[in-house]
A and B are shown apart, each in its own frame.
Chain A
Amino acid sequence: MTIKEKGYTHWEGEFLDKKFPWWPITRYGIKLTFRKKFFKLIFPLSLLPAVVFLAGIYVSERLEDFKFLFRDSVPILQIDPAYFKTYLAEGFMIFVMVIIVIFCGSGLISDDLKHNALQLYFSRPLKKRDYFLGKTAVIVFFLFLLTLVPGLIFIIMKLIFAGSFKFFLSYPWLPLSVIAYSILVTAFFSFYTLFISSLNKNRRYVAILIFGIYVGSDILREIFYDIFHNHYFSLLSIRANIQQVGAVIFDQRTPYPIHWILSLLVLIAICILAWFVLKKKVRGVEIVK
């Protein structure tokens, strides 16, 4: 008998499945994140690069008017896929994403473990899949606001400022690249964040781990590369792997001379590991050994 059918009084009618049973979890997670004082300052700041890049798109259409700012007529504001890659797939933006997921994601599962809330969730007509979807959607919401939404707005505003579809005709695949990259980076950080959040009940500890593993992986890459001069050590760095795949998505030269498939496989492997751990950690009953 499913949880929906249990009850003291028998329901004669039909059991209807709610369309998005995970939505209340997402809505609450987003609300909670916005309640944090620090986040109300950090989040607008994180959108500042998008504003700067948008201004760049505007200036690119008015180069003659802004020529006095540049010494030579160097086309430094060429709006092409490289420009999008610079905004979306450079180290700085990835770092900003890590900061944002620390805010919105570190307590997603760890707080539920701390307050024994998993039993409350799973004693309702909610599947594990819906639970994960709900939690993931919180991270997706914020990361899409940093990646997908600005990326698409850049394309739209470029078309509007240019007054023609020339840009779109030159790079018709660009919107798909923006979508693909946003999905990739969001999916990775969702798995990464939820995995670490499920490891401990202390959200401070989780926040440190999220940040520490990200930065530590980069430091490892630096150390090994400086000793061995082997670019394959870039596979150790989360940032480097994301940048490799990002470069390919935007049809740019990869920053490291290794096959991008390897970077993609590393990211997928982390997601698979995360999935297995999450399945084990998130359950309705806590077993105390």
Chain B
Amino acid sequence: MKPVIETQHLSKWYGNVLGLSDVTLEIEPGITGILGPNGAGKSTFLKLITGQIKPNIGTCSVNGKKIWNNFSLFSFIGFCPEQDAFFEELTGWQFMTGLLKLHHYSPAERETKAQKALEIVELVEDKDRIIKSYSRGMRQRLKFAQAIAHDPEIIVLDEPLNGLDPLGRRKIIRLIKSYKGEGRTIMVSSHVLPEIEAMTKRIILIHQGKIFAQGDIHYIRDLIETHPHIISIKCSDPRLLASNFIQEDFILNVKFSSQENTLLVETNNRDKFFSLIPALSVKNNIEVEEITSPDDNLQAVFDYLVGK
């Protein structure tokens, strides 16, 4: 498939701080997730490919054309920025129709498209309230709405699920997935792996301004699977539970925490481990109070992968 977005040795500095380093990528139609911890360079990358900032080195093109100062490309690009900023004194409706006006639609078209977009994000009832009075979730949904209102072929979403409640997240994820079937190109950035996982299998991992992994999510998952995880279990009889654990080969380490009745277990197979706990607790009549994963975060995964 012909790539829609291409970057060649893309690099960006902010003074002495390296935002992005030597990124060469080809993005094809479909959903591509950009995953990375905070400060990894996701927003920088998305701003570069949407022409909001210009690269210090390298090139970035959309449909074979350079994006910087090429405003004609924005007819089919929709961008949902990360920052929470609006024309606060406008209502949601005025905001939507005003921005659609800049796409040179007729008044009737503007109203239709604005109405459709607001319906999708469920803001129709609040469309005549000023944006200043919107909640965090409503503002996020409005940002999403302005990105999709003009039916763009390419949609770039920078942390679109920030500030949304679980129901809102599910709806947006479902919507994004529906775009894939329409042949659009969607780029979504996030620092939460399960969010990206729910939308797409194609992931680009970015860390400290560099792309250090890209491809199918299963590949990433496999890497993570082999990454030893530490799980903390608070139960009525940690020593009994520990004695059962150490018999399994996927348990690498067992430690007793300084906290009362808490066990720290290191495993390289989370799925097997979690399916074992209920069986053991029932067999030995152990009450399990709490299970947490102190290193179950993207930073830990990244640290592991970078170290690999």
Residues of A within 8 A of B (CB): 288
Cβ contacts A to B, 3 pairs, < 8 Å: A288-B130, A288-B132, A288-B133
With A and B bound together, what is the CA distance between A154 and B180 in angstroms? Answer: 77
Q: Would you give the 0/1 interface string for B120-140, flagging 1 where the beta carbon is closer than 8 Å to chain A?
A: 000000000010110000000
With A and B bound together, what is the CA distance between A288 and B130 in angstroms? Answer: 10
With A and B bound together, what is the CA distance between A288 and B133 in angstroms? Answer: 6
- The secondary structure that dominates the B interface is helix
Query: Number of residues in B with C-beta < 8 Å to the partner?
Result: 3
* Residues of B contacting A288 in the complex (Cβ-Cβ under 8 angstroms): 130, 132-133
With A and B bound together, what is the CA distance between A288 and B131 in angstroms? Answer: 10
**Smallest distance from the beta carbon of A118 to chain B beta carbons, Å?**
16
Residues of B within 8 A of A (CB): 130, 132-133
Closest residue of chain A to B132, judged by CB? A288
**Smallest distance from the beta carbon of A111 to chain B beta carbons, Å?**
16
**Smallest distance from the beta carbon of A106 to chain B beta carbons, Å?**
20
Query: 3 tightest CB-CB pairs across the interface, nearest first?
Result: A288-B133, A288-B132, A288-B130
Closest residue of chain A to B133, judged by CB? A288
Closest residue of chain A to B134, judged by CB? A288
Closest residue of chain A to B130, judged by CB? A288
* Residues of A contacting B130 in the complex (Cβ-Cβ under 8 angstroms): 288
**Smallest distance from the beta carbon of B130 to chain A beta carbons, Å?**
8
With A and B bound together, what is the CA distance between A73 and B201 in angstroms? Answer: 94
**Smallest distance from the beta carbon of A6 to chain B beta carbons, Å?**
24
Closest residue of chain B to A286, judged by CB? B132
Closest residue of chain B to A289, judged by CB? B133
* Residues of A contacting B132 in the complex (Cβ-Cβ under 8 angstroms): 288
**Smallest distance from the beta carbon of A110 to chain B beta carbons, Å?**
15
**Smallest distance from the beta carbon of A200 to chain B beta carbons, Å?**
13
With A and B bound together, what is the CA distance between A288 and B132 in angstroms? Answer: 7
With A and B bound together, what is the CA distance between A27 and B116 in angstroms? Answer: 52
With A and B bound together, what is the CA distance between A111 and B133 in angstroms? Answer: 19
With A and B bound together, what is the CA distance between A288 and B138 in angstroms? Answer: 15
**Smallest distance from the beta carbon of A285 to chain B beta carbons, Å?**
14
**Smallest distance from the beta carbon of B5 to chain A beta carbons, Å?**
35
With A and B bound together, what is the CA distance between A235 and B133 in angstroms? Answer: 42
**Smallest distance from the beta carbon of B243 to chain A beta carbons, Å?**
35
With A and B bound together, what is the CA distance between A288 and B89 in angstroms? Answer: 11
With A and B bound together, what is the CA distance between A288 and B88 in angstroms? Answer: 11
With A and B bound together, what is the CA distance between A288 and B134 in angstroms? Answer: 10
**Smallest distance from the beta carbon of A158 to chain B beta carbons, Å?**
49
Closest residue of chain A to B129, judged by CB? A288
With A and B bound together, what is the CA distance between A13 and B164 in angstroms? Answer: 41
With A and B bound together, what is the CA distance between A52 and B225 in angstroms? Answer: 75
